Structure 1
Amino acid sequence: MDGIVDHTMIRVSDLEESLEWYQTHLDYEEKDRHEGEDFTLVYLGPEDMHDDAALLELTHNHGTDEVEIGDAWGHIAVRVPEGELEAYYEQLMDEGVADYRDPESCGGHYAFVKDPDGHEVEIVQRSPDEGALWSIDHTMIRVEDADDALGFWTRKFEYDEVGRWEADSFANYFLEPRNAADEAMAVELTYNYDGRSYTQGDGWGHLCVRVDDLQDDWDKLQTREADDYREPADCDHLYAFTRDQDGHEIELLERDPAADSLFPF
């Protein structure tokens, strides 16, 4: 069981404002939309995104005027070509995006902006063969125990640790499915050494792992003692959800590439 990350879901307070922000500044296009009784889901991504690249899912609960950004939720990171970080950051500034953390303040290696709800978007440099412009490079979440978190992803989902960076007060660990394409999204775990705890908030939604066989892969997770949060039968056998040791939700989704809709409904 080593499926790629299919999408990252975040909640937004004003769907049209968020759609305009991502479509204007990151050149995302709407890939699909589902209108529920009291919510709307929209998949977004670059026009020429790779089949193994991750989508961004925006969820808007109708009647919601504000979302809470908890500190367990970190950010998504999007790609720009190597050597062009400053140029693309200045482009965002010229378009009216708020100046949050510019390249100079980040040692020239990356930068950060925020979307209308305060979701952080990191800008990282990658070679052209590692994914389309503005495609999602990784999603970062904070964890309270690095050993438990690494064990969760390596044992239950069969992900490999592909990189780490250890500083004086924190460490970052990057995990990917085995033999993942260059365009696939990584999961970044951030562990702070001071023993702090985190709040989830409702602005952070979930990660979704694309699986080959929903029931079979769910059964494997249960054998590996994953949290039985929302089993396939509870979700009309369309998807399922487990949770990691910190309460981060992970959806399992069996996607049919030939289907008319990206959603399983």
Structure 2
Amino acid sequence: MTGELDHTMIRVADIDASIDWYETHLDYELKDRHDGDGFIIVYMGPEDMGDAEAMVELTSNKGQEEIEIGDAWGHIAVRVRDLEAAYDELMAGGVDDYRDPESCGGRYAFVKDPDGHEIELVERDHGSPWSLDHTMIRVEDADEALGYWVRKFDYVETRRWEADTFANYFVDPEDAPDEAMSVELTYNYDGRTYTEADGWGHLCIRLDDLHDDWEQLMIREAEDYRDPESCDDMYAFTKDQDGHEIELIVRDPDAESLFPF
């Protein structure tokens, strides 16, 4: 079971304002939209994104005017060709100055979207410009977190950064293409705990067979959170050791809609 990451879902208060922000500043386009009973879901990504690249899913719930981010959720990172030029372009476009390249040692930078979700800029020579490079989540036990992704999903650790007080571990499916999105697991050494909030939604993994892979996850003792039957056999959800939700879907490339319903 080596499914690649399909999308990262975050919640937003004003769906139209968020769509406009991602279209204006990241050159994203609307890939699909579903207006449900009391909620709206949209998929967005670069216009010419590759098949292995991940989308961002924006979810807006009717009547929810404020989003609480929490600290268990970290950020999404997008790829740019020239870090300084990309940051200057965002500043010229009216994006608030949050963490510029100089304050980050010239290695990366950060901005925030309208709801306060952090977006890291990383310089890459692969993948579509502004495509999702990785999603960062915080974990309370690095050994458990790495073991979870290795045992449950056959992911491998592809790189790491260890500092004096924290470490970042990146995990991917084995032999994943460079343009696929990674998961960044951030572990702080001081034993802190984290708070889940409604701003952070989930990671989503594309599978070959929803039911067979779900059964394999159950054998591997993944959490039985929302099985395929409870989701009308369209998708399923499990959780990692820290409670981060992970959606499981089968994506039909020939379907008219990106949504399974």
Alignment of 1:12-31 (within 5 A): 12-31=12-31
Q: Which runs of 5+ in 1 are unaligned?
A: none
- Coordinate RMSD, CA, aligned: 0.4
1:221 aligns with 2:212: no
Give the aligned partner of residue 187 of structure 2. Answer: 191
Shift of 1:182: 1.1
1:85 aligns with 2:67: no
Give the aligned partner of residue 102 of structure 1. Answer: 100
Give the aligned partner of residue 112 of structure 2. Answer: 114
Give the aligned partner of residue 8 of structure 1. Answer: 8
- Residue type of the alignment partner of 1:52: A
1:168 aligns with 2:175: no
Give the aligned partner of residue 151 of structure 2. Answer: 155
* Distance in 2 separating the partners of 1:180 and 1:262: 22
* Distance in 2 separating the partners of 1:108 and 1:244: 33
Give the aligned partner of residue 60 of structure 2. Answer: 60
Count of matched residue positions in the alignment of Structure 1 and Structure 2: 261
Provide Cα deviations, 1:49-68, integer angstroms capped at 9, x if missing partner.
Answer: 00010000000001110011
* Distance in 2 separating the partners of 1:263 and 1:108: 39
Give the aligned partner of residue 200 of structure 2. Answer: 204
SS at match of 1:19: helix
SS at match of 1:238: coil
Runs of 4+ displaced beyond 2 Å = none
Q: Sequence identity of aligned pairs in percent? A: 70
Query: Which of 177, 180, 201 is residue 176 of structure 2 equivalent to?
Result: 180
1:45 aligns with 2:39: no
1:134 aligns with 2:130: yes
SS at match of 2:213: helix
SS at match of 1:218: helix
Give the aligned partner of residue 238 of structure 2. Answer: 242
TM-score with structure 2 setting the length? 0.99
- Residue type of the alignment partner of 2:240: D
* Distance in 1 separating the partners of 2:247 and 2:15: 22
Q: Which runs of 5+ in 2 are unaligned?
A: none
* Distance in 1 separating the partners of 2:259 and 2:166: 37
TM-score with structure 1 setting the length? 0.98
